[in-house]
A and B are shown apart, each in its own frame.
Chain A
Amino acid sequence: MKEESKMVEKFGYFGKILWVNLSTHEINEREIPEEWYHQYLGGYGLAARILFEEIPFDADPLGPDNILAFMPGLLTGTTTPFTGRYMVCGKSPLSGGWGDSNSGGTFGPEIKRCGYDGIIFVGKSEKPVYLLIKEGKATIEDASSLWGKDAIETDELLRIKHGNRIRVAAIGMAGENLIRNAGIVNDKGRIAARSGLGAVMGSKKLKAVALIGATKYPYKNKNSVIQMTKEYKDKMKFKDLMSRVMMKFNNILPGMMRLIKMDLFLTEGMQVTMMSKYGTGLSTAISSEVGDAPVKNWNGVGYIDFPQKKVRNLTAQNLEQWKVKPYGCFSCPLRCGAILSVPELNLKETHRPEYETATAFGALILNDDVNTLLKVNEYLNRAGYDSISAGGVVAFAIECFENGIITKEDTGGLEIGWGKSESIMPLLEMIVKREHIGAILADGVKIAAEKIGKGAEKYAVHANGQELPMHDSKFGPSLATTYVSDPTPGRHTAASIDFMEVGPIGKFIKGLKIPKSKKHKYNSKGPAQAFMAKIHQTVNALGFCNFATWSGNIRLLDFIFQATGIQLTNDDLIKIGYRIQTLRQAFNAKHGAIQHQINTRALGIPPMEKGPLKGITLDIKTMVRDYYESMNWDPETGIPTNSVLEHLELDFAKTSLKLNTKNTTIVMLP
């Protein structure tokens, strides 16, 4: 196959996906051309190749023409550290463009254990159904008795029916009620949350996907992969130990570390040590202080509006009092998750809130009540509602309420406001049930602001329809580029240099040379942003968790070769990522969804007058233009050029682009 890989033999994939037509209830297997695995790997790479041609440009995201794909990464199912992820893909009801979402747990590997490289749903069922794969047979089952149940109950009921080995991905009430920010829940609390794909699943009346497989991953050389995994884990344990020693004696270490140039080593070690203990919430208090966390719907200042005495209630350190056990996704040596038990709230077993949730329901809306955070976290997991977007919607509603744009009449008498913790759960329930103003908020802040009018769009903090995550782009400027120009907008887990600089990808994959850029020099960032956008796609398509890239070097090319027989170089990794990112962008061009809308609060227009982000205004036009130029896409419109499509063997995309291209300029909202 082509220049970027040499085919050896067929290992590491099954060469087929399960194709489920929910309109006709037909189930088929579709063969995937072998070269696609070499060109797109797996996960959303492979999905982009399939969905680009299969979803018509005028498909309604919530109609039968949309397609929903569950795609494990190429290495998912192997012991390769951090690769237990799967991606859900389809046309997003939030942006009208490419949608994908990523989740861990144990569901992704189970798709492989069923002998498939992906499961794809087309059409729309008349009645609620779920897909069952058991003993090598796929059937569509009646889900009438599950409809109306939350995602965790659904998981439990399917376990009772089919045995505890079953792995379930399900929607809750949010997906059923077509809340545009709905996600898909697996392992009773991991959620493929972003892009609104839970609503797509709900629109297809697909309640759950339930899998029990027994197929073995077709390794090229299983022993080698296991051996390399062991070496990686040993190295990780050593780093953990070293970081503990260093932290213990850090009274003498700062100077010494500079001398022996070990600062990065410590960073990796600390990352492992701290993340495995506290999870992502380890930085909840820090982030609101330094300007990383958006405060008061992106218009506040941490030390003034949400000082430490408030935010510290919500930190992972405070949540330790309820911790029962840690847990991790399949094949993960870091294990950043934890189960809590909070008897006083009647929560026998609940997932520890992540940083994003603790900030979206903390600093963003000025809630400092930890009980509310715990209840909200559990509720959103059960409802299958993206906590980032849910927080954004609540913040929007509060600010509209505070400014008289919505009133008690709209909220059914509920008084909402900054820091009014007791009103948060009732408001969320109102949205999920689509009652009162909830019926409008259920469509996300962009559509809600359009419907409400009266200047509400000022408070709608989103990029191209998706609410922004809990990382202020004024703190990490290239995040703004990502938010506004990535095919799935408003994502902190999409490629971005400032965020990723925390744990350089150049250490994760040896020999990568990341172009240099300066944080606030806005015309210096294009090449680095493009580089990160490319490599990030490859890492995702292989099935890696983002945190892998923060945890030090891995023998990536060896893992790929020993698992799949595909021989790649670093240049191949970059070209494959370039191809995937370009195809995702081409999907948006085809669907007229390159929009470039972003709320000015994310850009520092007008600049903040106080706090760590004081005076910062981002030059978004330069950053986006330079990124497009570095991708060799049209710098004005972001549409991939014909020469790039040819270079990346994406010729098939050329005609489709002509269907629905339009000039786009960056629209700063409001």
Chain B
Amino acid sequence: MKIIVNLAGSFGLKSINSEVSIDLKENANVEELLQALRRLLKIKVFSVKGMKSNFIVVMINGERIDPKFAKNRNICESDYISIVQPIQGG
């Protein structure tokens, strides 16, 4: 299935505010999504470890995914997925 991921923030030294399209197997979970992204973009902070360390926040349909459930949370094509850097402006 084709998944669109919205990226917002600075990941590594790369500041990314764009979407990427990625091919995943049906019913892939969040951990698999991050692995695929990591391979595609060569940014290794896209990982469950990165979620746990608060480098990234993964949100699906506006809800924050707890890294503990990254393996259990399956994704489908109609999901709105975003990965953001957890910072706050002024």
The answer to whether A and B interact is yes
- Which A residue's beta carbon lies closest to that of B85? A286
Pair A312/B8 contact, Cβ less than 8 Å: yes
Interchain residue pairs with CB less than 8 A apart (23): A250-B12, A250-B44, A250-B45, A252-B44, A263-B54, A270-B10, A278-B15, A280-B89, A280-B90, A282-B87, A289-B82, A290-B57, A290-B64, A290-B84, A303-B61, A303-B80, A308-B8, A311-B8, A315-B8, A315-B17, A502-B87, A610-B61, A612-B63
Most chain B beta-carbon contacts within 10 A, residue among A251, A284, A502? A251
Interface size class of A (residues with CB under 8 A): 35 or more
Within the complex, the shortest CB–CB distance from B50 to chain A, in Å, comes to 5
Set of chain A residues within 8 Å of B84, measured between Cβ atoms: 285-286, 289-290
- Asked if B49 and A312 make an inter-chain contact with CB atoms under 8 angstroms apart, the answer reads no
Are A307 and B90 closer than 8 Å at their CB atoms?
Answer: no
Give me 6 other A-B pairs in contact (C-beta within 8 A), A250-B55, A286-B89 excluded.
A244-B13, A250-B44, A281-B89, A292-B88, A303-B82, A612-B62
Q: In the docked arrangement, what's the CA distance between A527 and B43, Å?
A: 41
Interface segment among A81-89, A156-164, A254-262, A481-489: the answer is A254-262
Chain B: minimal CB distance from A321 (Å)? 12
Which listed residue (B8, B43, B44) contacts A286, Cβ 8 A? Answer: B8
Interface string of B53-77 (1 = CB under 8 A from A): 1110101011110000000000000
Residue among B44, B57, B85, B88 with max Cβ neighbours from chain A (10 Å): B88
Asked if A660 is an interface residue, CB under 8 A from chain B, the answer is no
Q: Which of A251, A258, A499 contacts B88 (CB 8 A)?
A: A499
**CB neighbors of A among B8-40 (8 A):** 8-13, 15, 17-19
Q: Mark A240-279, 1 if CB is under 8 A from B, else 0.
A: 0000100110111111011000010000001100100110
* Chain B residues in 8 Å Cβ range of A258: 53
- CB of A283 closer than 8 Å to a CB of B: yes
| A255 (CB) vs chain B CBs: closest residue | B49
Chain B residue at minimal CB-CB distance from A320 = B15
Tell me if A287 counts as interface (CB < 8 A to partner B).
Answer: yes
Assess A254 versus B17: contact at CB under 8 Å? Given A274-B87, A303-B59, A355-B89: no
**What DSSP secondary structure best describes chain A's contact surface?**
helix
| Smallest Cβ-Cβ distance to B9: which chain A residue | A286
A309 at the interface (CB under 8 A from B): yes
> Contacts A247-B10, A292-B88 hold; do A254 and B53 have CB atoms under 8 A apart?
yes
Given contacts A247-B10, A247-B12, A302-B62, contact A287 B88 (CB under 8 A): yes
- Does A567 count as interface, using CB distance less than 8 angstroms? no
A493–B89 Cα distance when bound, in Å, is 11
Residue of A nearest to B82 (CB): A289
A617 within 8 A of B: no
Name the distance in Å between B49's Cβ and chain A's nearest Cβ.
Answer: 5
Given A255-B49, A289-B84, A502-B87, A317–B62 Cβ distance below 8 Å? no
- Chain A residues positioned under 8 Å from B19 (CB to CB): 308-309
Q: How far is the CA of A311 from the CA of B89 in the complex (A)?
A: 15
Across the interface, B10 reaches (CB within 8 A) one of A254, A274, A307, A311, namely A274
Most buried by B among A309, A312, A471: A312
Contact pattern, A 300-319, Cβ under 8 Å of B = 1, otherwise 0: 01111001110110010110
Assess the A251–B17 pair: CB atoms within 8 A: no
Q: How far is the CA of A356 from the CA of B21 in the complex (A)?
A: 30
Task: Tell me the smallest distance from the CB of B24 to a CB of chain A, in Å.
Answer: 19
* A303 and B62 contact, CB distance less than 8 A: yes
B10 contacts which chain A residues (CB < 8 A)?
A: 247, 270, 274, 282
Q: State A392–B85 Cα separation when bound (angstroms).
A: 27
B2 within 8 A of A: no
Question: Separation in Å of the B42 CB from the closest CB of chain A?
Answer: 9
Which of A280, A284, A308 is within 8 Å of B6, CB to CB? A308
User: B-contacting residues of A (Cβ < 8 Å)?
Assistant: 244, 247-248, 250-255, 257-258, 263, 270-271, 274, 277-278, 280-287, 289-292, 301-304, 307-309, 311-312, 315, 317-318, 354-356, 471, 492-493, 499, 502, 546-547, 610-612, 614
Q: Which residue of chain A is the closest to B18 with respect to CB atoms?
A: A312
**How many Å lie between the Cα of A292 and that of B87 in the bound state?**
10
Bound Cα distance A629, B19 (Å) = 48
Taken together as a complex, chains A and B put the C-alpha atoms of A18 and B79 apart, in Å, by 62
- Provide the bound-state CA to CA distance between A254 and B47, in Å: 10
B90: chain A residues at CB < 8 Å are 280, 354-356, 492-493, 546-547
Cα–Cα, bound, A278→B87 (Å): 13
Cα–Cα distance between A257 and B49 once the two chains are bound (Å): 11
- The residues of A that contact B8 with a CB separation of less than 8 Å are 285-286, 289, 308, 311-312, 315
Query: With A282-B87, A318-B17 in contact, is A611–B49 under 8 Å at CB?
Result: no
Within the complex, the shortest CB–CB distance from A316 to chain B, in Å, comes to: 9
A248 to B85, CA, bound (A): 15
Residues of A near B82 (CB, < 8 A) are 289, 303, 308
| Cβ–Cβ < 8 Å partners of A257 in chain B | 53
Which residues of A sit under 8 angstroms from B11, Cβ to Cβ? 250
**Shortest Cβ distance from A469 into B: residue:** B90
Complex: chain B residue closest to A309, CB-CB: B19
Cβ B62 vs Cβ A263 within 8 A: no
Asked if A254 meets B59 with Cβ closer than 8 Å, knowing A287-B89, A308-B82, the reply is no
Q: Are A283 and B87 in contact (CB under 8 A)?
A: yes
- CB neighbours (8 Å) of A317 from chain B are 15, 17
Beyond A252-B44, A280-B89, A307-B6, whether A285 also contacts B62 by CB under 8 A is no
- A315 CA / B61 CA spacing, docked (Å): 21
Q: Which residues of B contact A253 (CB under 8 A)?
A: 45, 53
Known: A286-B8, A308-B19, A312-B17. A254 touches B88 (CB 8 A): no
* Distance A255 CA – B54 CA, assembled complex (angstroms): 11
Query: Contact between B62 and A610 (Cβ–Cβ < 8 Å)?
Result: yes
Contact: B87 with A286, CB < 8 Å? yes
**Shortest distance between the CB of B4 and any CB in chain A (Å):** 9
Give bound CA distance, A253 to B15, whole Å: 18
Given the complex, which residues of B lie within 8 Å of A274, measured CB to CB? 10, 87
Q: Which residues of B contact A280 (CB under 8 A)?
A: 89-90
- The reply to whether B88 and A301 form a contact with Cβ atoms under 8 Å apart is no
Q: A284, B89: Cβ atoms under 8 Å?
A: yes
| Cα–Cα, bound, A292→B44 (Å) | 26
Complex Cα–Cα for A354 and B47 (A)? 31
User: Which residues on the B side are within 8 Å of A302 (C-beta)?
Assistant: 62
Complex alpha-carbon distance, A254 and B12, angstroms: 11
Q: How far is the CB of B44 from chain A (nearest CB, A)?
A: 3
Nearest 4 A/B pairs, CB to CB: A251-B44, A283-B89, A254-B53, A355-B89
Residues of chain A with a CB closer than 8 A to B52's CB: 254
A residues within 8 A CB of B54?
263
Which one, A254, A263, A278, A355, contacts B49 given CB within 8 A? A254
